[in-house]
Amino acid sequence: MAKKLVKYCVVDAFTDTAFKGNPAAVCLLEEEKDDKWLQSVAAEFNLSETCYLIPLNEPTNTNPRFGLRWFTPVDEVDLCGHATLAAAHFLFSYGLVKTDTIEFSTRSGILTAKRVPEPKASNSQDDCPTGYSIELDFPVVQVAEANFNDVLAISKSLNGASVVEINETSKGDHFILLPSGEAVVECQPQIDLIQNCPGRGMIITGPAPQGSGFDFYSRFFCPKFGINEDPVCGSAHCALAPYWRKKLGKCDFVALAASPRGGVVKLHLDDEKQRVFLRGKAVAVMEGSLLV
């Protein structure tokens, strides 16, 4: 029997530079695949996320809608920002949708991605925009004080970093405040110790240095899901936005994901609707077909 081809693209999200930001594999399916196959392909890519798109035929819908699922190398997850950005970039850049808004049906409900034209450079002679960014509409992830009070254990897992606060997200991640953004950058995570900590993963964050152009820095570690460090975790910013809203008294942020690859996330928090709007760029770095 002839093998079918599944088109895929590897996209670096939350960056406009190849080999920076957070890579995700995007696979476009013509039909549903079983979970074992989906997980096996994700393990083969061995990126922090592999996501799967399948078109949904809903003629009453104004915007195109796709089913979207996200897999780490070891498990399926409920929410992923960078792979959703990568999926939207794939659909927009390959001309697979004709609108500026896409809807995704996911385990976290209906999520939207909007193409937002970038203003042209001030010295440009061209009337056309220079490009676009993508804005994602995601649910807020709540942050609350943690029951886990072992500051020493958390500090050891971060190679002795000074811990200011220990909180926990509604997704089960530790949410750790460090004294500064520089401390976030310099942190040397002890992955084995983080893996033995209770909870799912660990977000660390700190205030950005004055004059840096950022509001806060962050990093995310999740070895239990096969991700020692997620280079730019979009969903972590759904918790970071409401937390820094209380700290800084504002709703708009520019955040640096301070992993070695680095990435930039622009955020707007809608307090009333309890939604976070994440904006970033993406660049495709590899494409091909899977034989199935």
Find the largest Cα–Cα distance for the chain.
62
pLDDT of residue 211: 97
Q: What is the DSSP track for 219-269?
A: EEEEGGGTEEEESS-TTTHHHHHHHHHHHHS-SEEEEEE-SSS-EEEEEEE
Cα–Cα distance, 184 to 162 (Å, whole number)? 10
d(CA 109, CA 272): 18
pTM over 0.85: yes
Residue 142 near residue 169, CB atoms below 8 Å: yes
Tokens 């409900």 identify what position? 109
> According to the model, what pLDDT value does residue 247 have?
97
Q: What is residue 121's predicted lDDT score, i.e. its pLDDT?
A: 54
pLDDT > 70: what percent of the chain?
95
Neighbours of 220 (CB within 10 A): 26
Q: Please check the confidence at residue 66 and state whether its pLDDT lies above 90.
A: yes
Residue 128 pLDDT greater than 70, yes or no: no
Q: Which of 44, 49, 135, 229 is catalytic?
A: 49
**Quick one: 180 exposed, middle or buried, by C-beta within 10 A (0-12, 13-18, 19+)?**
middle
SS (HEC) of 227-238: EEEECCCCCCHH
pLDDT over threshold 50, residue 192: yes
Place of tokens 């020692």: 228
Strands (E), 14-95: 22-28, 49-56, 65-71, 76-77
Q: What is the pLDDT of residues 195-215, one digit of tens each?
A: 999 999 999 999 999 999 999
DSSP letters, 154-217, are HHHHTTTPPP-EEEEETTS-EEEE-S-HHHHHH----HHHHHHSSSS-EEEEEEPPTTSS-SEE
Does residue 49 have an active-site annotation? yes
Contact 271, 251 (CB under 8 A): yes
Q: Beta strand pairing status for 49-56 and 227-230?
A: unpaired
For residue 137, name the pLDDT band (cuts at 50, 70, 90).
Answer: very high
Structural domains in the chain, CATH included, are 5-140+279-291 (3.10.310.10), 143-270 (3.10.310.10)
Determine which of 148-152, 156-160, 190-194, 259-263 has the lowest per-residue pLDDT on average.
148-152
Looking at residue 124, its pLDDT comes to 43
Could you report the per-residue pLDDT of 236-281, keeping only the tens digit for each?
Answer: 999 999 999 999 999 999 999 999 999 999 999 999 999 999 999 9
pLDDT (average), residues 44-64 = 90
Q: What is the pLDDT of residue 165?
A: 96
CA distance 194 to 199: 9
Match 């759904």 to its residue by tokens: 238
The predicted pLDDT at position 129 comes to 43
Residue 56 has pLDDT above 90, yes or no: yes
Predicted confidence band of residue 60 (pLDDT cuts 50, 70, 90): low
Given a cut of 60, whether residue 113 has pLDDT beyond it is yes
Q: What percent of the chain lies above the pLDDT cut of 90?
A: 89
